[in-house]
């Protein structure tokens, strides 16, 4: 019995089964359970750790160019974010183990692709950002592709992203377990497939299960386009927060307004983590300089980059298998207590 049989029975990729065997803490618990059930049903024996050889696909036999491109399709700002740099670091480390070259570049507004990608001189692409214009997308569709995070295309390419719905579950449970019963969730108007919409849906569903009151702020607004718009929305939401009665005992920021909202509340004499608990969103948008430091979210960008490479190499060997989405569990990070 092979790992391939387990992957087929569980409905996941070989890379996912390998990750469950070697690094289960990096995989969605529901996926771990499904893989373990498949192993039991097939009577699959896990070799001792010392005997495992890890992912072997000698994919190098299928890597004609020994080169993979990491393309940012939404401009340069995403590449300089903490998560962006983490994903690139993880992808680079994983490809180095296979002795595969990495090209990191951008798809600019003019739609021009890097020369090697345009000439088809790469074995696959890792993509982050929105789906590019149709002419560019058409060229990229012709090669193995993995999208990192959301959004991107839904009808072509594989994907590795955080399990945003589960993060919503975990955030609600974290606050409810600490006695919070009157909570505000900050989000944007629903937008199918976007991280804030999935987090909000999971948060609201778990709140209903646990009988916790949740009010939403910002739901009448579309996603902010720039820092100025984020500042304006945060000021508006902070003002509304101060008018709520009774005053909420917790705040979950499902979108990227955490750092902006924290500043606006402090300006109004309200202290997060003292007057109420605050989960301020991803590290990118709630940096460590916030004082008092709120609870933040790590999406494990390095591991997402590594998983994306695993998935891309697996795709090279399995070109005809249906699209795969690999989910990565995120982690809530509590502020360190002073020594």
In the chain, the domains with their CATH numbers are: 3-51 (1.10.260.40), 63-162+301-330 (3.40.50.2300), 164-298 (3.40.50.2300)
More confident site: 222 or 289: 222
Please give the pLDDT value at position 21.
Answer: 80
- pLDDT-based confidence at 288, cuts 50/70/90? low
Taking the C-alpha atoms of residue 109 and residue 96, their distance in angstroms, rounded to an integer, is: 30
> Any idea what the Cα angle at residue 123 is, between residues 120 and 127, rounded to 5°?
90
Task: Work out the percent of the chain whose per-residue pLDDT is above 90.
Answer: 61
| Cα Rg of the chain, angstroms | 21
More confident site: 59 or 42: 42
Among residues 136, 159, 102, 92, which one has the least CA distance to residue 302?
92
What is the pLDDT averaged over residues 96-111?
89
Tokens representing 97 are 């183990």
What is the pLDDT averaged over residues 92-97?
96
What DSSP state is assigned to residue 224? Answer: P
More confident site: 263 or 31: 263
What is the pLDDT averaged over residues 97-105?
95
Quote the strand ranges of the chain, DSSP E.
Answer: 67-72, 101-106, 124-128, 145-148, 158-162, 182-186, 213-217, 250-253, 277-282, 295-298, 325-328, 331-333
User: Taking 60 as the threshold, does the pLDDT of residue 58 lie above it?
Assistant: no
Least confident of 148-157, 230-239, 253-262, 277-286: 277-286
Please give the pLDDT value at position 56.
Answer: 43
What DSSP state is assigned to residue 223? Answer: P
More confident site: 276 or 7: 276
What is the pLDDT averaged over residues 221-249?
93
Contact 124, 291 (CB under 8 A): no
More confident site: 303 or 38: 303
Least confident of 79-83, 274-278, 314-318, 323-327: 79-83
Tokens representing 2 are 């092979």
User: Taking 60 as the threshold, does the pLDDT of residue 57 lie above it?
Assistant: no
Taking the C-alpha atoms of residue 213 and residue 44, their distance in angstroms, rounded to an integer, is: 45
User: Taking 90 as the threshold, does the pLDDT of residue 315 lie above it?
Assistant: yes
User: Taking 80 as the threshold, does the pLDDT of residue 45 lie above it?
Assistant: no
**How many Cα atoms are found within 13 Å in the side-chain-facing hemisphere of 258?**
28
pTM above 0.85, yes or no: no
User: Taking 90 as the threshold, does the pLDDT of residue 34 lie above it?
Assistant: no
């Amino acid at each position: 019995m092979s790992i391939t049989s387990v992957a087929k029975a569980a409905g996941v990729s070989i890379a996912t089964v390998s990750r469950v065997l070697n690094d289960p803490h990096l995989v969605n618990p529901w996926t771990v359970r499904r893989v373990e059930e498949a192993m039991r049903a097939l009577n699959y024996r896990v070799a001792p750790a010392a005997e495992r050889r890890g992912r072997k696909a000698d994919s190098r036999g299928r890597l004609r160019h020994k080169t993979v491109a990491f393309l940012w399709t939404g401009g340069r700002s995403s590449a300089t974010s903490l998560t962006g740099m983490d994903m690139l670091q993880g992808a680079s480390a994983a490809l180095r183990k296979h002795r595969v070259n990495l090209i990191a570049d951008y798809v600019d507004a003019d739609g021009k692709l890097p020369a090697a990608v345009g000439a088809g001189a790469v074995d696959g692409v890792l993509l982050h950002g929105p789906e590019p214009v149709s002419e560019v997308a058409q060229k990229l569709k012709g090669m193995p592709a993995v999208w990192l995070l959301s959004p991107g295309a839904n009808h072509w390419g594989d994907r590795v992203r955080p399990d945003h719905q589960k993060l919503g579950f975990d955030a609600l449970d974290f606050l409810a377990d600490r006695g919070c019963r009157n909570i505000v969730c900050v989000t944007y108007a629903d937008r199918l497939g976007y991280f804030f919409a999935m987090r909000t849906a999971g948060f609201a569903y778990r709140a209903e299960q646990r009988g916790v009151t949740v009010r939403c702020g910002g739901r009448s607004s579309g996603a902010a386009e720039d820092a100025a718009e984020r500042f304006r929305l945060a000021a508006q939401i902070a003002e509304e927060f101060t008018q709520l009665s009774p005053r909420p005992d917790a705040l979950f920021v499902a979108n990227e307004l955490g750092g902006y909202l924290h500043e606006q509340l402090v300006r109004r004499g309200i202290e997060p983590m003292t007057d109420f608990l605050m989960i301020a969103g991803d590290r990118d948008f709630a940096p460590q300089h916030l004082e008092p430091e709120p609870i933040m979210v790590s999406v494990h960008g390095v591991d997402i980059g590594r998983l994306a490479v695993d998935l891309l190499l697996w795709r090279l060997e399995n070109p005809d298998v249906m699209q795969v989405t690999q989910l990565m569990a995120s982690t809530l990070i509590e502020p360190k207590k002073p020594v």
